[in-house]
Amino acid sequence: MIEPASSRNDDADQYKELIIINSGLISSHYAHICKSGIITHLTCGYVLGFNGIFYGIEENERVVELIITDLYGLLGDAGGPVFSFDPSENLHSVDVHGAVVTVGPGMCAANRLIQFYLLYMAK
């Protein structure tokens, strides 16, 4: 039997582990979205835009097609899952949409799952 994937939510009294039941695109502006980061833990906010671009410090380092949000995050949160709670389930189940790429004051950008796969897993 394959164990379901999950995300830690250590600060919560209930639902310390969020079960990932689905993956997919999020395509609506102002949709409610959350992330789990190692530094700031679980924070939630809203989708502000799509197709964002992040330019890194290395030459030709850029990540495209980012989901732009108003999630609160700090530098160590990069790589954490970005998700929404599944409305057909409960507060224990989430749909994952991507991974945190970069954070800044009042914003957090995330790779969509397909972009994350193409950049890091398909090599």
At position 79, the amino acid (one-letter code) is G
Which of these CATH numbers, 3.10.28.10, 3.40.50.300, 2.40.10.10, 3.40.190.80, describes 7-12+19-121?
2.40.10.10
Q: Which helix (H) or strand (E) holds 19?
A: strand 17-23
Q: What is the value of pTM for the model shown?
A: 0.79
Please report which confidence band the pLDDT of residue 65 belongs to, taking 50, 70 and 90 as the band edges.
confident
Please report which confidence band the pLDDT of residue 17 belongs to, taking 50, 70 and 90 as the band edges.
confident
Residue with tokens 């530094």: 39
Contact yes or no for 101/115 (Cβ under 8 A): no
Rounded CA-CA distance 91/55 in Å is 35
Rounded CA-CA distance 34/47 in Å is 10
